[in-house]
């Protein structure tokens, strides 16, 4: 994968290239960001650049023997470790054919898609101790090309305490051995690992870059691309999902939640808040943006009688909610959602925020 194929993220690309050009490549780096930020794609492009035999200033050549092997995921000095369910193998080698297929097709792979690919949606992925031992073995061998030897460890948060067997290697790796850890959730990562890596925080993708990608590569209209880019919150995975699904993935969550509040089923509302708050900060932010858009649609509908840009299911939901709550009450919810988005942005406790919102909204229905 070339840097040019990574959507947006110019500052990150520059930073990574600078580390190579200045001869200061840290031996353990943590690419921290959501799947839709392109953290995996960036790590792959970086590994490809480091292994390329004939790199240009800003990108790898894409044509040399090393580049071709990286593209087919058969480069002997590029190793991968990733979570998988223990029912289908002992080490990543056992699952490598599926991994190759999934990653060649999609460098913006996310955990849910990967598990679905393995037909293991209901099983828990894991990086087992046998895989940790395989890493130690693989990295103790000399590089084939006498150049870098790279381990790309996708989702190190799935390492249990057995991940500690890697600490010594992370701290003092053999010469020209690099660890690229691609992580979605720092909170779930062993602190012993965090402290041994250099953290690179990958921000969300620029909305303009997402919109340009949607119009250029995905054939979306300018208007649709701009709307989806705005709703995606800089998450390319989410943007592509939104483009594919005529139905917004947040609709069901929003409808269920409002249903619990309306029936004043606070037990279910609390359960919903609990589950939803674990779905990741970017996802929650996207949900709140979606909620704001729906509420705006309701209030606009009140005045203009228009429901443009909504799907049939959304229109149905919007009419129902609009019939249950007065415009004044809708405006109050709108303000609360804005406040919640502000608090989430500042690392507020999502579970508490949604539980409190549930009570306030339930009261409005009385
Ligand atoms: Zn090359």
What is the CATH classification number for the domain harbouring 138?
A: 3.40.50.300
Residue 70 alpha carbon to ligand 1 centre in Å:
9
- 318 and 341 both lie in a single domain: yes
Residue 149 alpha carbon to ligand 1 centre in Å:
16
- 92 and 224 both lie in a single domain: no
Q: DSSP letter string over 59-106?
A: S--S-SHHHHHHHTT--TTEEEE--B-GGG-SSHHHHHHHHHHHHHH-
- 255 and 323 both lie in a single domain: yes
Does residue 301 register a pLDDT over 70? no
Q: Between residues 298 and 207, which one has the greater pLDDT?
A: 207
Q: Which residues contact 37 (CB under 8 A, 6 or more apart)?
A: 9, 202, 203, 204, 205, 234, 235, 236
Cα 364 to chain centroid, rounded = 35
- 221 and 263 both lie in a single domain: no
Does residue 122 register a pLDDT over 80? no
- 217 and 299 both lie in a single domain: no
Helical (H) or strand (E) element with 201? strand 198-201
Residue 48 alpha carbon to ligand 1 centre in Å:
8
Give the position of tokens 């209209």. 221
Residue 62 alpha carbon to ligand 1 centre in Å:
5
Q: Between residues 297 and 37, which one has the greater pLDDT?
A: 37
Single out the residue in 166, 201, 236 at which a domain terminates. 201
Does residue 307 register a pLDDT over 60? no
Tokens of 89: 């193998």
Residue 8 alpha carbon to ligand 1 centre in Å:
22
124 pLDDT band, cuts 50/70/90, is confident
Residue 343 alpha carbon to ligand 1 centre in Å:
46
pLDDT of residue 1: 86
- 222 and 298 both lie in a single domain: no
Residue 23 alpha carbon to ligand 1 centre in Å:
18
Task: Give tens-digit pLDDT for 286-295.
Answer: 899 889 988 8
Residue 53 alpha carbon to ligand 1 centre in Å:
5
What residue numbers bound the domain in which 227 lies?
209-244
- Ranges of H-type helices in 245-311: 249-262, 266-276, 281-304
Tokens of 81: 């470790």
Residue 69 alpha carbon to ligand 1 centre in Å:
9
Q: Between residues 362 and 146, which one has the greater pLDDT?
A: 362
pLDDT of residue 304: 57
Residue 34 alpha carbon to ligand 1 centre in Å:
28
Single out the residue in 201, 227, 261 at which a domain terminates. 201
- 191 and 222 both lie in a single domain: no
366 pLDDT band, cuts 50/70/90, is confident
Alpha carbon separation from 52 to 8, 43, 64, 67, 150 (Å, rounded): 22, 14, 7, 6, 13
Query: What is the DSSP secondary structure assignment for residue 127, as one 8-state letter?
Result: B
Residue 74 alpha carbon to ligand 1 centre in Å:
14
- 19 and 167 both lie in a single domain: yes
pLDDT > 70: what percent of the chain? 96
Residue 188 alpha carbon to ligand 1 centre in Å:
36
Residue 46 alpha carbon to ligand 1 centre in Å:
12
pTM exceeding the 0.75 threshold for the entire prediction: no
- 169 and 149 both lie in a single domain: yes
- 143 and 12 both lie in a single domain: yes
What total number of domains does the chain contain? 3
- 341 and 277 both lie in a single domain: yes
Residue 76 alpha carbon to ligand 1 centre in Å:
15
Residue 114 alpha carbon to ligand 1 centre in Å:
28
Does residue 38 register a pLDDT over 80? yes
Residue 47 alpha carbon to ligand 1 centre in Å:
11
Does residue 145 register a pLDDT over 80? no
Range picked from 118-127, 282-291, 330-339 for highest mean pLDDT:
330-339
pLDDT of residue 151: 96
Does residue 246 register a pLDDT over 60? no
Strands of the sheet containing 198-201, edge to edge, are: 78-81, 149-154, 177-183, 28-32, 198-201
Residue 49 alpha carbon to ligand 1 centre in Å:
7
- 227 and 180 both lie in a single domain: no
CATH number, domain containing residue 340: 1.20.272.10
Residue 19 alpha carbon to ligand 1 centre in Å:
18
Single out the residue in 244, 271, 303 at which a domain terminates. 244
14 pLDDT band, cuts 50/70/90, is very high
pLDDT of residue 306: 54
Does residue 7 register a pLDDT over 80? yes
Least confident window among 89-98, 183-192, 276-285? 276-285
Residue 75 alpha carbon to ligand 1 centre in Å:
12
Residue 20 alpha carbon to ligand 1 centre in Å:
15
Task: Give tens-digit pLDDT for 24-35.
Answer: 999 999 999 998
Residue 211 alpha carbon to ligand 1 centre in Å:
29
315 pLDDT band, cuts 50/70/90, is confident
Residue 60 alpha carbon to ligand 1 centre in Å:
5
Strand partners, 28: 179
Considering the chain, what is the average pLDDT of its residues?
90
């Amino acid at each position: 994968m070339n840097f040019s194929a990574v959507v947006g993220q110019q500052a990150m690309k520059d930073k990574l290239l600078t580390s190579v050009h200045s001869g200061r490549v840290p031996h353990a780096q943590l690419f921290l960001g959501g799947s839709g930020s392109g953290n995996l794609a960036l790590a792959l492009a970086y590994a490809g650049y480091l292994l390329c035999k004939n790199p240009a200033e800003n990108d790898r050549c894409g044509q040399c023997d090393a580049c071709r092997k990286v593209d087919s995921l058969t480069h002997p000095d590029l190793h991968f470790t990733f979570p998988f369910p223990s029912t289908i193998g002992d080490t990543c080698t056992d699952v490598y054919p599926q991994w190759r297929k999934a990653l060649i097709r999609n460098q913006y792979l996310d955990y849910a898609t990967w598990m679905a690919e393995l037909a293991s949606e209901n099983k828990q992925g894991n990086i087992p101790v046998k895989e940790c031992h395989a890493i130690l073995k693989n990295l103790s061998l000399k590089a084939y090309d006498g150049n870098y030897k790279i381990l790309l460890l996708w989702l190190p948060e799935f390492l249990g305490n057995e991940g500690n067997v890697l600490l010594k290697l992370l701290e003092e790796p053999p010469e020209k051995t690099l660890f690229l850890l691609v992580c979605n959730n720092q909170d779930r990562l062993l602190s012993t690992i965090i402290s041994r890596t250099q953290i690179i925080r990958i921000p969300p993708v620029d909305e303009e870059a997402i919109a340009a990608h949607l119009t250029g590569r995905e054939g979306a209209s300018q208007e649709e691309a701009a709307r989806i880019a705005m709703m995606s919150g800089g998450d390319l995975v989410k943007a592509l999902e939104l483009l594919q699904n005529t139905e917004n993935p947040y609709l069901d969550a929003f409808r269920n939640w409002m249903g619990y509040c309306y029936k004043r089923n606070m037990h279910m509302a609390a359960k919903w808040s609990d589950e939803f708050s674990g779905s990741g900060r970017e996802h929650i932010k996207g949900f709140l943006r979606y909620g704001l858009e729906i509420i705006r649609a309701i209030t606009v509908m009140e005045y203009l009688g228009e429901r443009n840009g909504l799907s049939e299911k959304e229109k149905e939901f919007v009419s129902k909610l609009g019939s249950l709550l007065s415009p004044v009450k809708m405006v109050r919810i709108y303000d609360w959602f804005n406040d919640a988005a502000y608090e989430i942005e500042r690392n507020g406790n999502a579970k508490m925020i949604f539980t409190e919102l549930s009570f306030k909204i339930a009261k409005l229905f009385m």
